[in-house]
Amino acid sequence: MSARTVAIICGFFVALFYAYNFTAAKQITPEFIGPFGLTWYRVIVTCAIFWTISLFTGPKEKVPFKELPLIALAAFCGVGFNMITFMWGLSLTSPISASVLMVSTPIIVLVLSAVFLKERLFATRIIGILIGFSGAALLIFLSTGAGADATHPALGNLLIFMNAVSFAFYILLAKKLTAKYHVFTLMKWLYFFGVLFITPFGIMQGLAFDFSIASTTTLLHIAYVILFATFGTYMLNIIAIRTLKPSVVAVFVYLQPLLATLIAVGLGTDIITWQKAVSGLLIFTGVFLTGLKNKKVVKISSSY
């Protein structure tokens, strides 16, 4: 099996694990545990797992001190700010809305690539970006919480969109770092900094959660969020990033709303509304257009 095939399989399971995470996390926060508290447990446990694994496997790499600021920035984008905005946003909106907004990640990656990597934008991609962002704006400002215990859908959707922007930055940063360091070396340092970023926000909610009176279902959902939707996804995603281009990795986000919708509707935790459907159509159209290759020789350069 080729490295590319392995990377594609990893990308698919990342999409699957994340898809159920929208429902699993929604089942326990904020009713049973605060979103920051759940995020704190995610990062603490995953950090411990990666540091433990690194003691017994992988090369004994030393990270130069000058590289730590870049790793810290990647940790802020991919672990700290990313997880806080996701859990906080999901606690306020619905699983389907959150998963639809995450599809905007490839468009954001393209915009960031144009700004920071000087990739060229041509007319079709510019139109795709505008259409995709219009879908995200529609969902943020006109969404309702029907059928999904969404207390503040507009704020929740805005936070999820900020999460997508943060994750797009992480994809670009992680691509550079994976070329230098082994997976376990990188992940243990990413989560080390992630713990530092999240602890001030999540420690109070985390300590307030009483495991002794929690139901088995609640504990199983917490275990899933930590082991599959955190450790599993970050581990598999970093393998995919090592082999695939950032734009290809972002493509697997397309699967999340489809899988998340099937899971949420199947379990009765959410329903499909016209806002979600129209927004999803606009975002998918935007993603499709931004993924097209330019057939003309002359391209429209980014204005940045």
Whole-number pLDDT of residue 33: 94
Whole-number pLDDT of residue 297: 35
Residue 53 half-sphere exposure, CB side, CA atoms within 13 Å?
17
For 291, which DSSP code? T
Dist. CA 18–CA 6, nearest whole Å: 18
Whole-number pLDDT of residue 46: 92
For 34, which DSSP code? -
Whole-number pLDDT of residue 299: 37
In a structure prediction context, what are the per-residue pLDDT tens digits for the chain, which is 304 residues long?
788 888 889 888 998 998 899 999 999 988 899 999 999 999 999 999 999 988 887 678 888 999 999 999 999 999 999 999 999 999 998 888 888 888 888 888 888 888 887 777 788 888 888 898 898 888 877 765 554 567 888 899 999 999 999 989 998 888 788 888 888 888 899 999 999 999 999 999 999 999 999 999 999 999 999 999 989 987 888 788 778 776 677 667 777 788 888 898 888 888 888 888 888 898 888 878 877 766 543 333 333 3
Amino acid at 133: F
Whole-number pLDDT of residue 246: 65
Whole-number pLDDT of residue 15: 87
Dist. CA 188–CA 124, nearest whole Å: 40
Q: Which long-range contacts (CB under 8 A, 24 or more apart) does 215-224 make?
A: 217/27, 218/27, 218/28, 218/32, 218/33, 221/24, 221/25, 221/27, 221/28, 222/28, 222/33, 222/38, 222/41, 224/20, 224/21, 224/24
Residues 221/27, Cβ–Cβ less than 8 Å: yes
pTM greater than the 0.85 cutoff = no
CA angle, 171 then 238 then 258, to 5°:
75
Dist. CA 80–CA 103, nearest whole Å: 20
